[in-house]
Structure formats: structure tokens, C-alpha cells
């Protein structure tokens, strides 16, 4: 009935979430204790504390003093900040060097300002409230010029102002459209941009939560259906600062193994040893680069995790070894559902050792997934996580280094699409219902898997891909955006979705290239692969019973063009890898909305169909069929067309030509971009590095390249290589200086090439004080570029 017009029958009005709210009321007393201020109000309790000088945490509980346990998201220790507390009858002021919190007493209303007095968040008519159903809510003033980013994985445009969003990890096979709200990931964090300044809020609640930036024109709210109110305010003042503060709290991404950044090929499913070998041979024969092949559910024996079907894959170890010899990895899927089968060791062990989720009465919860009736590990228990992690020895013993976690919302084939919310989670002695912890199930499966793999791999980096997650998921996994379709609309959708994931701390993300469900077409695959060249995660994946989607599936021309862009991925690898390192250090994503770099440019605030890689490369994919041009917006400065070298003046829209073989890419004048070489996979060491120098009208440019061994955690202990290159121009003299850091890693390339774009042919060049001989220089008249190479 819900799928017919009956759904809007006048008699079917539902009780709305958030009705019958009770305000927290006036402050009746307060106490200062260990740097925290504990308020008792007419109707509840509020506690304010500083997590650091720049981050304040607000907790509210209507029934008792708020607890200070955090969800699994928070890793940063609270700094001992002792604020100055003063009272002027109507207002309690709590102050650090960076932040001022003013609490109006009657009723309790909170304002946070920075040290210069600029308002960050403010409560006016409404503040903290709750209702009898156990819902907690808080309201904040929304200024006319506020723009909102983050919120994890959401459909729709970049700026979430005017949206209502729900956080409840959900397996949505179809549809993903503008009114599809809750998807696989729940990241209750957002950044507000106001007049070029930014602040952020993280609402740490692992049950169902809602954000409403729509119902009222000057107020927004966030609320949860269970648990207490618990949120952090990050003061910025830039969006990058907010991302830094948020990822300091919830952790940054470890640097992925380099192979995880290459091109990956998947299909539901490559079903046999023979099929995988054939696939690999095709890549090799056609010389199309690839780093990983995925095994979807058919590799298993009756969909039992930690098994291989020996008829289809008689010798998995041999297969993996053979693939390794040609530089490719195997990534198998691992779902959480463990088949109910008393003769299956994993099931037996899980039951005997009590690792599965149970009802409060003690009976195991069973749900229907791929293997049929299945039990689900209780990942909230450290013991169960450890058990699950150790089980991955099965895979590492076969030579596997990466795992793909799916169905971990958890998805169940029933009407609610998930586990019975009454199921209990053991939660290390603090039992809670699934209703309260639903959104961390996938995150904790990720933790169990990542930590288990890391341990087994003994110093080698592992790669984990996950569908579900919660705030902090970046510590363990890369995220793909689930079951999209081979629609042009889904290609369009992927841009703001990935940009907002990046603005939610998840720097390593991407959609299924070519589209998962539905039949792709050659043209769509080319355009999507072009986009994939620059998504942090780059995997072609398609569903069972859809047309084949490997690069050669649509004839020669499509093969040639997809190959060209897969190769580009490897060419751009040194730059991408440097940006991954930046994300690892600062939380600033690899793929960025323009607004992150140009926050005061009004044209960027909701720009959803183009993006940046780092701070100086602009990418504007074509996302409609039979289209060979598009409008591109250029922020201030001058921009160089990567393919034609044409200069485009910024602060302006331009019409750009882009026939099927062209992905529009632009480099900002005054930039240096490193390039590597085309290779079959990242397993082949880089032999030559090229610095492309785009000085244009600028007289200086610089870049700091990052490199390490790409496979171990040596980078955490100084096994790194950094090279600072600066290029300056004075009349006809170009001086380049190269400075290496004192990290202990020695890179593999033996030659360094420099390409000066847009220049004359009579330049004198000095590199590290030595003049480059005339005979070494190569001038390309057509491109107006000057090239020379030195030995390293
Ligand atoms: C889910 C996943 C998809 C996978 C399929 C079969 O739909 O999202 O990627 O191929 O399950 O395992």
C-alpha cells in the first residue's frame, strides 16, 4: 500500500518524529568540576567540556547527569583544558583562549563565539529539548548565508541547506535518487560555511538520527531517537581547519598500500579460476593497467565466509601466487552473515564461543542473507572482533592482502532491511540494543577486519573496502558508494556524494565505475572511467545479469579510450599519492569541492558537477550522453587546459570542448604537478619522474612531493622521501631548486624530467645552482614547452 496513492490518504497521518517536545528549561544550579561545567536545569542535565582549546563538547540527558562515554568514533584523548568560568546573573560564561561559551540561564540557551567575538553557533527561541519517546533534539540559528557540507554519503547536490537527512545505515539496492535518504554510511558530521568562515558539528549518536535544514528558514536542528544528546563543535575558522579538528578527534586514514590506488576490476562475479585467469590474460595482452581483481560471493562454498568453493577454485593459493607474479592482487568479498550450519567450523566456533548477536533472552538472532539463515558476529564485543580478525589468517595464508566488506549495515533480506532492533549487543559489558548501536555495526566489522589483517600481514599495509560505516570509518577502510546503476544521472550523483564523503573525513572513496546494476553502454563507460581516473578509489564493478563492463566490452574505440584514462591514473599516481599523504596528515581530502579552496567565491558554494584534485587541478567531467562540450566555472587566477595548453582566465564560466576522448582537466597557473609513467601495475617500480611546471605569468611555483615504499608502515618511522621543488623566473632565467628531506626512504626513479609549459625557447635554466646545457634542452614549438632530463 505504501507504494500506491494510498500512502497519501488523508487518514494515514503518522505521528511525526520530534513532536511533543519539552524544553530543557531554566538553569537551576551548576557546578564546575575538573574543567567541566555541569548544569542542572528544570527538566534535565547538561554538561559542557572542552575537548581541546578549539573543540567544545555538549552533552544533555533529561534523566540523569550525562555520561561521558563516547561512541567508537572518538580516538583523541581529551586535553586537560581548564576554562575560566564567570557568572553575571543571567549568563554563565565559560572561556578558553580560543572559544567562549555563553549559557543564558532562563531558559538554558547556548552561544559559542570565537575569541574575536564572532558567533559560531547560537540558540535563540529553541535550544535543547526531548520528548517522552526518548528522543533528544537541539536547535541552532541558521543564518541566511550559511552553507552546509559533509553528512557522509547522501544523494543530491553539494550544499545540503534545504535538506532533511536521516542517519540509519541502509542497503538500498534501488533507487538512489534525490529522495533516497539513508544510504549505507552514517556520518553525523557537517561543516557550516558562513561568509568564508567555517565551523563544524559532530553529533555522536550511533542510533537513528535526523538533521533538518529545511523545515524552518532560520533554524536547523538535529535529533536522535535514542541515547543522549552529545555533540562537538569545531571552531575552524577555515573548512580545512574543521576537517583537521574533526579527523584529529575521529582519526585520519592510514596511507593505503599503493596497489589500492591503482585501477581495480570487479564483477558480480568472476566465478571460476579459469575465468579469473582469462581476465588477467586479457588485461596483460591488451596492456591495460590493473592492480586488483575482486572475487564476489561466488568464490565461496555455499556463500560461507572463510571458504573457497574447490570446484570453481581448486587451488586459490596457486592462483593468487600466479597473479602476484604479474603484479595483481585478489580482493575477496567477506560479508558478516555466517551460515547456520552445524557442520561449518566458523558457525560452530561462533556459537560455542558466544560471538554471535543474541536476544536478551539468550537465543541467537538469525537473518536471511546470501547463505540463507545466518548468524551475525557481535562486533561490539572486543572478543568477537578479535576472533573475526584472527579468522582472516585463512585469507592471508593464501597470500591475500585486501578484503571487501559488504552487507555490513547489516543488510538482511526482510521488510526492515536490517537486524531486529531488539537484538542486544554485548558492547564489552555495557549492553545496548541494536536500535542504539545500528550505525556502528559495519564500522566495527571494519575495525575487526582491518586490525586482523594488519596483524596477520606483519608490517605490510592492508586494504579494506567497506559499504557501511560510521564517523571515523576512514581509520580502517575505503568506502564505495554501493549499488548505483548504469545511469548518466548516477554518474552525476557520484560527484557531490564523493565530495561530501571527503568533507566527512572519508578521503578514500569512489562509486562503482560504469554503474553496478542496469546495463552500461560504451559511451557511459568511457565518461565514467574518465571520472574514475580522479576518484580516490577507482573500481569498475557490475552486477550479475548485466552486460559485461570490462574495458574491452564495447568494441575497439571504447577499449582505446578507457585504456587511455586507466593509464592516466598511473601517470598521475605520484601526485595522487602525495595527496593521500596529505589526507593522512591533515584530514583534507584528495578530491575536493571547489568551495574548499575558494570559500569566498559565491559561485562555488553549490558547484556539484566539477571538482578539484588537491588545490590546483580542476576536473570537469562530461556527464550527459552525446555531449562534446560543457560549461566550466573557473575561480580566480589563470588556468591552463591540460590537453591543449590554452589559457583560461578565471572568475568566469567558459565553454569547453570535450569530445569523447577528452576529460577536461585544468591546471592553475603557478603550479607544479609530478607525473609518473604508464605501467601494467603499481608493482612495477617507477623509473622516471616528470615535473610539469606551469609558471604562466607567475614568477614562482613550488611543490612538495611525497613518496615511500608504498607497502609497509615504515613511513610511520621516518622511511619517507620528500622533495621540495621550487621554480623561479627572473627575466630569461629560470632557477629550479630541489631539496630532499632527511627521511630514510630512497625512491626508485633514476631520472627526473622537467617540462616547462608555456615558455619561450631561449631561456637559461639553472638547476640546484648548475646551468642546464643547451644540448640537454628540447623545445616543442607547437606546445611551447621546454623539456630536459637529469639523472637522480
Ligand atoms: C551487494 C553489493 C554488490 C555485490 C553484491 C553481491 O549488492 O553492494 O557490490 O556485488 O552484493 O555480493
Whether 18 has a pLDDT exceeding 80, the answer reads no
Q: Which of 135, 204, 401, 483 is catalytic?
A: 483
Beta bridge partners of 392: none
For ligand 1, say whether the CB of 333 is within 6 Å of any of its atoms. Answer: yes
171 alpha carbon – ligand 1 mean position (Å):
10
Mean pLDDT value of segment 422-446 = 98
Whether 466 has a pLDDT exceeding 90, the answer reads yes
Characterize the bridge pairing of strands 478-480 and 463-466: parallel
322 in catalytic set: no
546 alpha carbon – ligand 1 mean position (Å):
13
For ligand 1, say whether the CB of 559 is within 6 Å of any of its atoms. Answer: no
Whether 7 has a pLDDT exceeding 80, the answer reads no
Q: How far is CA 494 from CA 489, 499, 590, in A?
A: 9, 8, 15
pLDDT tens string 244-276: 999 999 999 999 999 999 999 999 999 999 999
Angle at 545 between CA 540 and CA 549, to 5 degrees: 25
Q: The cell 526518548 sits on which residue? A: 134
Whether 3 has a pLDDT exceeding 80, the answer reads no
pLDDT tens string 359-413: 999 999 999 999 999 999 999 999 999 999 999 999 999 999 999 999 999 999 9
* Tally of CA atoms within 13 A in the half-sphere of 320 that contains its CB: 20
In whole angstroms, give the CA distance from residue 277 to residue 318: 11
pLDDT tens string 636-648: 999 999 999 999 9
For ligand 1, say whether the CB of 335 is within 6 Å of any of its atoms. Answer: no
Q: The cell 582537466 sits on which residue? A: 665
Q: Which of 153, 241, 406, 752 is catalytic?
A: 406
For ligand 1, say whether the CB of 483 is within 6 Å of any of its atoms. Answer: yes
For ligand 1, say whether the CB of 334 is within 6 Å of any of its atoms. Answer: no
DSSP codes, 40-103:
EETTEEEEEEEEETTEEEEEEESSSSPP----TT--SPPP----EEEE-SSEEEEE-SSEEEEE
Q: Which atom of ligand 1 is nearest to the CA of 543?
A: 10
Q: Which atom of ligand 1 is nearest to the CA of 173?
A: 7
Rounded percentage of the chain residues whose pLDDT exceeds 70: 98
In whole angstroms, give the CA distance from residue 463 to residue 259: 9
For ligand 1, say whether the CB of 669 is within 6 Å of any of its atoms. Answer: no
554 alpha carbon – ligand 1 mean position (Å):
23
541 alpha carbon – ligand 1 mean position (Å):
9
**Residue 151 · residue 189 · CB < 8 Å:** yes
What pLDDT, on the 0 to 100 scale, is given for residue 11? 64
Q: The cell 537484538 sits on which residue? A: 423
The residue whose CA is least distant from atom 3 of ligand 1 is 483
pLDDT tens string 600-629: 999 999 999 999 999 999 999 999 999 999
Mean pLDDT value of segment 547-572 = 98
Cell of 150: 559533509
Q: Rounded mean pLDDT of the chain?
A: 96
Rg over CA atoms, the chain: 27
In whole angstroms, give the CA distance from residue 56 to residue 309: 53
Helix (H) or strand (E) holding 689: strand 688-694
Whether 16 has a pLDDT exceeding 50, the answer reads no
DSSP codes, 628-660:
-EEEEEE-SSEEEETTT--EEESSEEEEEE--T
Whether 15 has a pLDDT exceeding 50, the answer reads no
Whether 47 has a pLDDT exceeding 80, the answer reads yes
Angle at 50 between CA 44 and CA 52, to 5 degrees: 160
- Would the pTM count as exceeding 0.85? yes
pLDDT tens string 480-534: 999 999 999 999 999 999 999 999 999 999 999 999 999 999 999 999 999 999 9
Q: Which of 241, 409, 447, 451 is catalytic?
A: 409
Cell of 727: 621554480
Cell of 275: 575465468
Q: The cell 540557551 sits on which residue? A: 109
In whole angstroms, give the CA distance from residue 142 to residue 159: 14
For ligand 1, say whether the CB of 268 is within 6 Å of any of its atoms. Answer: yes
Rounded percentage of the chain residues whose pLDDT exceeds 90: 94
What pLDDT, on the 0 to 100 scale, is given for residue 71? 86
Q: What is the largest CA-CA distance in the chain?
A: 86
**Residue 743 · residue 784 · CB < 8 Å:** no
For ligand 1, say whether the CB of 332 is within 6 Å of any of its atoms. Answer: no
Cell of 272: 571460476
Q: The cell 583534507 sits on which residue? A: 588
pLDDT tens string 340-363: 999 999 999 999 999 999 999 999
In whole angstroms, give the CA distance from residue 707 to residue 723: 9
449 alpha carbon – ligand 1 mean position (Å):
18
Q: Which atom of ligand 1 is nearest to the CA of 516?
A: 9
Mean pLDDT value of segment 752-778 = 94
Cell of 649: 582566465
For ligand 1, say whether the CB of 406 is within 6 Å of any of its atoms. Answer: yes
576 alpha carbon – ligand 1 mean position (Å):
28
**Residue 438 · residue 418 · CB < 8 Å:** yes
In whole angstroms, give the CA distance from residue 358 to residue 365: 5
409 in catalytic set: yes
301 in catalytic set: no
Amino acid at each position: 500500500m505504501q507504494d500506491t496513492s494510498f500512502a497519501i490518504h488523508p487518514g494515514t497521518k503518522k505521528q511525526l518524529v520530534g513532536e511533543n517536545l519539552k524544553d530543557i528549561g531554566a538553569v537551576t544550579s551548576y557546578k564546575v568540576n575538573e574543567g567541566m561545567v555541569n548544569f542542572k536545569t528544570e527538566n534535565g542535565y547538561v554538561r559542557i567540556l572542552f575537548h581541546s582549546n578549539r573543540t567544545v563538547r555538549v552533552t544533555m540527558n533529561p534523566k540523569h547527569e550525562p555520561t561521558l562515554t563516547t561512541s567508537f568514533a572518538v580516538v583523541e584523548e581529551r586535553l586537560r583544558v581548564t576554562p575560566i568560568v564567570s557568572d553575571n546573573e543571567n549568563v554563565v560564561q565559560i572561556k578558553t583562549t580560543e572559544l567562549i561559551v555563553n549559557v543564558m540561564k532562563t531558559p538554558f540557551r547556548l552561544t559559542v563565539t570565537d575569541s574575536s567575538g564572532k558567533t559560531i553557533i547560537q540558540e535563540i527561541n529553541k535550544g535543547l529539548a526531548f520528548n517522552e519517546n526518548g528522543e533528544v533534539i537541539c536547535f541552532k540559528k541558521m543564518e541566511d548565508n550559511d552553507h552546509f557540507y559533509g553528512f557522509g554519503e547522501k544523494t543530491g547536490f553539494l550544499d545540503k541547506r534545504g535538506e532533511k537527512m536521516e542517519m540509519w545505515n541502509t542497503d538500498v539496492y534501488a533507487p538512489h535518487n534525490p529522495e533516497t535518504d539513508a544510504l549505507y554510511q552514517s556520518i553525523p558530521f557537517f561543516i557550516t560555511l558562513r561568509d568564508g568562515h567555517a565551523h563544524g558539528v559532530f553529533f555522536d549518536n550511533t542510533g537513528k538520527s535526523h538533521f533538518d535544514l529545511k523545515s524552518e528558514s532560520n533554524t536547523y536542528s538535529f535529533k536522535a531517537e535514542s541515547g543522549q544528546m552529545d555533540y562537538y563543535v569545531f571552531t575552524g575558522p577555515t573548512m580545512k581547519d574543521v576537517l583537521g579538528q574533526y579527523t584529529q578527534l575521529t582519526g585520519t586514514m592510514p596511507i593505503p598500500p599503493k596497489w589500492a590506488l591503482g585501477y581495480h576490476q570487479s564483477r558480480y562475479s568472476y566465478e571460476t579460476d579459469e575465468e579469473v585467469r582469462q581476465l588477467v590474460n586479457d588485461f596483460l595482452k591488451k596492456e591495460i593497467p590493473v592492480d586488483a581483481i575482486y572475487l564476489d560471493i561466488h568464490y565461496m562454498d555455499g556463500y560461507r565466509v572463510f571458504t573457497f568453493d574447490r570446484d570453481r577454485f581448486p587451488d586459490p593459493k596457486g592462483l593468487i601466487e600466479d597473479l602476484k607474479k604479474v603484479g595483481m592482487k585478489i580482493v575477496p568479498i567477506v560479508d558478516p552473515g555466517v551460515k547456520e550450519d552445524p557442520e561449518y567450523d566458523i558457525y560452530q566456533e561462533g556459537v560455542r564461543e558466544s560471538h554471535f548477536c543474541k536476544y536478551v533472552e539468550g537465543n541467537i538472532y538469525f537473518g536471511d542473507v546470501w547463505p540463507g539463515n545466518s548468524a551475525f558476529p557481535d562486533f561490539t564485543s572486543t572478543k568477537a572482533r578479535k576472533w573475526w580478525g584472527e579468522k582472516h589468517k585463512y585469507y592471508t595464508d593464501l597470500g591475500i592482502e585486501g578484503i571487501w566488506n559488504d552487507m555490513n549495515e547489516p543488510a538482511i533480506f526482510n521488510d526492515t532491511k536490517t537486524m531486529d532492533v531488539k537484538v542486544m549487543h554485548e558492547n564489552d559489558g555495557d549492553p545496548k540494543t541494536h536500535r542504539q548501536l545500528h550505525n556502528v555495526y559495519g564500522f566495527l566489522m571494519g575495525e575487526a577486519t582491518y586490525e586482523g589483517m594488519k596483524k596477520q600481514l606483519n608490517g605490510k599495509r592492508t586494504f579494506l573496502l567497506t559499504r557501511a560505516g560510521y564517523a571515523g570509518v576512514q581509520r580502517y577502510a575505503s568506502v564505495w558508494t554501493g549499488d548505483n546503476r548504469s545511469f548518466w544521472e548516477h554518474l552525476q550523483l557520484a560527484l557531490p556524494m564523493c565530495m561530501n564523503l571527503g568533507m566527512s573525513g572519508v578521503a578514500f572513496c569512489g562509486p562503482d565505475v560504469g554503474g553496478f546494476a542496469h546495463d552500461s553502454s560504451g559511451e557511459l563507460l568511457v565518461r565514467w572511467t574518465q571520472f574514475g581516473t580522479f576518484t580516490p578509489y577507482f573500481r569498475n564493478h557490475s552486477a550479475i545479469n548485466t552486460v559485461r563492463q570490462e574495458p574491452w566490452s564495447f568494441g575497439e574505440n571504447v577499449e582505446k579510450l578507457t585504456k587511455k584514462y586507466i593509464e592516466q591514473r598511473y601517470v598521475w599516481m605520484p601526485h595522487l599519492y602525495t595527496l593521500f599523504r596529505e589526507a593522512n596528515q591533515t584530514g583534507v581530502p584528495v578530491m575536493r569541492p571547489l568551495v574548499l579552496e575558494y570559500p569566498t567565491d559565491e559561485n562555488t558554494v553549490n558547484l556539484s558537477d566539477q571538482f578539484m584534485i588537491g588545490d590546483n587541478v580542476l576536473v570537469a567531467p562530461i556527464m550527459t550522453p552525446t555531449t562534446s562540450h560543457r560549461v566550466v566555472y573557473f575561480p580566480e587566477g589563470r588556468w591552463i587546459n591540460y590537453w591543449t595548453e590554452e589559457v583560461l582566465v578565471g572568475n568566469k564560466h567558459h565553454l569547453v570542448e570535450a569530445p569523447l576522448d577528452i576529460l577536461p582537466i585544468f591546471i592553475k597557473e603557478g603550479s607544479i604537478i609530478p607525473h609518473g609513467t604508464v605501467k601494467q601495475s603499481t608493482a612495477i617500480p617507477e623509473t622516471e619522474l616528470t615535473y610539469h611546471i606551469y609558471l604562466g605569468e607567475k614568477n614562482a611555483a613550488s611543490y612538495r612531493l611525497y613518496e615511500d615504499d608504498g607497502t609497509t608502515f615504515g613511513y610511520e618511522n621516518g622511511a619517507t622521501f620528500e622533495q621540495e621543488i621550487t621554480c623561479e623566473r627572473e627575466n630569461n632565467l629560470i632557477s629550479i631548486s630541489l631539496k630532499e628531506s632527511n627521511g630514510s626512504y630512497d625512491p626508485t626513479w633514476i631520472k627526473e624530467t622537467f617540462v616547462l609549459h608555456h615558455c619561450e625557447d631561449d631561456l637559461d635554466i639553472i638547476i640546484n645552482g648548475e646551468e642546464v646545457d643547451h644540448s640537454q634542452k628540447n623545445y616543442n614549438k607547437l606546445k611551447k614547452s621546454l623539456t630536459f632530463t637529469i639523472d637522480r
